[in-house]
Amino acid sequence: MNTFFIKTFGCRVNQVESQAILEQFKRAGFVPATDFEHADICVLNTCTVTHQADKDVEKLIRLILTGCYAAAHSAHIREVFPSAQIVGKYELGRVLFNEEDICWTVSGHEGHSRAFIKIQDGCDNFCSYCIVPYARNVKRSKPMADVLDEIKQLVQNGFLEVVLTGINIGNYVCPQTGVDLAALCEQIAALDGNFRIRFSSIELPTVSDGIIHQMHKHPARFCNYFHLPLQAGCDKILRDMNRHYSTQEYARRVADLRAHIPQIGIFADVIAGYPTETEQDFQATYQFIKSQRLAGLHVFSYSPRPGTPAAKLPQLTHVEIKRRADKLRELDKELRAAFAACLVGTEQVVFVEEKKGSALHGITSNFQTVLLPQNCRARGLVRVKIVRAQNQLCYGEIL
Ligand code: SF4
């Protein structure tokens, strides 16, 4: 029997795509191998978001390369690894299975209790630091009917939380009906079943009133959570980065979200040490984030991606970038602690998903980790009273 092994690097989108490839392999009669050395076919689903991601991929290159690193650095790969076969994501079906395309729907998520589905691919925003548009600039969306079927299937298979992912999910447009993400949400809200939907990261300019309206109208179906990439809290740096919003617009949207969606958890990405970022700009970013009382940050130390405009600029030193990243990570801890503390006394629906040490562990709709007493038997979506908070964690009792 033929065996296969898939190694996934990078983001949620790659993870969900690998799940789809895995399921297609199984349908084609392949058996998963425990590691790549025992597999007839190895697929490396690659990432190029950071320099370290490139290095990780280069260590493992064997046979078929797909994903962003392969797409963005094909000439380099051919030179360094002439035996590697480079196959585009949308050519995998033809090369591996002699079919037009991989079926990008999934029915589960191996080893996970939350399911991720890819509803959209591609971005052509060309933020000045980002390599993604050089690898995935063709925008595609999954037909709405397929998204709805995929969710129904996952719910039938026991998943209680489904995360909608994509490279830029706010750009979702159903290729068959032309409807946008808000209209898709309306249809998802009408599905039967006790499950909730979470959006993965979504770009601020694409958070429409329609999406907010659906979240407000269906609080049990849509998590009161947003991951809104900020990248910089200083208008000059946002312009340099070719981001398409100002700090004022960001703040206004955050206020809108808070006004319409109670206890919303708003998290953000931020980049420390962009080449043109002065100390004053960095301070502006720091103060802006503080003023927005975000629930937490994902801090990235800037690293130049060859081929992007920002990589051609004079760079800050590693020491300076690290100093700024460390400061932002400290701020992240404060924000997470404050968010956890403000939930004390509230009731939350917690998705109890795994055991961690001596306590049961789950996440709220607004993405706060909650620990429950070990003797509690609850699993799935349970109502919990938050009784205390410590070290960025909440402690709860089942209601
Ligand atoms: S929005 Fe900007 S950072 Fe995000 S994928 Fe597109 S180009 Fe990259």
Q: List the domains of the chain with CATH numbers.
A: 3-97 (3.40.50.12160), 108-223 (3.30.750.210), 225-342 (3.30.750.200), 347-398 (2.40.50.140)
- Cβ 170 under 6 angstroms from ligand 1: no
The answer, yes or no, to whether any atom of ligand 1 lies below 6 A from the CB of 121, is: no
State pTM to two decimals.
0.84
From the list 265, 197, 272, 198, the residue with the least C-alpha distance to 230 is 272
Q: Is 158 left (phi over 0), alpha (psi -120 to 50) or beta?
A: left
Instruction: Judge if the beta carbon of residue 123 lies within 6 A of ligand 1.
Output: yes
Pocket test for ligand 1, best of 50, 168, 303, 305 (most atoms within 8 A of CB): 168
- List the end-to-end C-alpha distance of the chain, in Å, as a whole number: 51
- Distance from Cα 201 to the centre of ligand 1, integer Å: 11
Cα-based angle 11, 221, 198 (whole degrees, multiple of 5) = 10
pLDDT means per 10 residues, the chain with 399 residues, are 85 86 90 84 80 68 75 82 78 74 69 85 93 85 95 93 94 96 97 95 95 96 97 98 97 96 97 98 98 97 94 97 98 98 96 69 94 80 95 93
Half-sphere exposure at residue 115, Cβ-oriented, CA atoms within 13 angstroms: 27
> From atom 2 of ligand 1, which residue's Cα is the shortest distance away?
127
- Sheet hosting strand 64-67, strand order edge to edge: 31-32, 3-8, 41-46, 64-67, 85-86
Give the Å distance between the CA of 138 and the centre of ligand 1.
13
For position 284, what pLDDT does the model report?
Answer: 98
